[in-house]
Homo-oligomer: A and B are copies of this chain.
């Protein structure tokens, strides 16, 4: 295995950016997304908080960057869930398959694998799923407060299981089924979790 190295370390932006990302992963895994502050992350990275804002913008954006997440749920979730409410389940499954079947899916599978064997990555992934995906889905669909948590976690259970079965364990015929077959088969189950009687 050969590691390619730049001959001279660039002292400026790249190193600062990287140390902010390292600090962010640590603080997010330790405190959770809600408990982590830009201020604490800047402190951990030994930089000024203004610099963190300058490089990454919001805490959400910094979180995505720290997880190497190529897609932004702030755009994707509303796109999947707006439209007729009784077809939200199918649209959600279709979105998930289009993301995971794309080149970005390779990174997502790697993240899922890593989260299964590493407690630290598992925490980051949980924070990501809960704060970036599920919370947005709850808001978008206007689910009532007391049920919203259970409903969205049940949706997560089916989506995570689809990913594990299709991309990791590769159980047939789910592994090579065409997306629309899975949308028709799984969509109504996700729909029940979203809006049906539990």
Contacts and interface: CB of A to CB of B under 8 A. Distances in A.
Contacts of A168: 115-116, 122
Contact of A164 (B164, B177, B184): B164
Contacts of A65: none
Interface string A151-187: 0011011111110111011111110010001001110
Given A153-B173, A161-B162, 12 more contacts: A112-B116, A129-B169, A130-B172, A150-B174, A150-B185, A154-B185, A157-B162, A157-B165, A157-B166, A158-B158, A189-B192, A189-B193
Contacts of A99: none
Interface residues of A, number: 42
A165 B171 contact: no
Contacts of A114: 117
Nearest to A114: B117
A158 B189 contact: yes
A4 B135 CA distance: 49
A93 to B, nearest CB: 11
Contacts of A130: 171-172
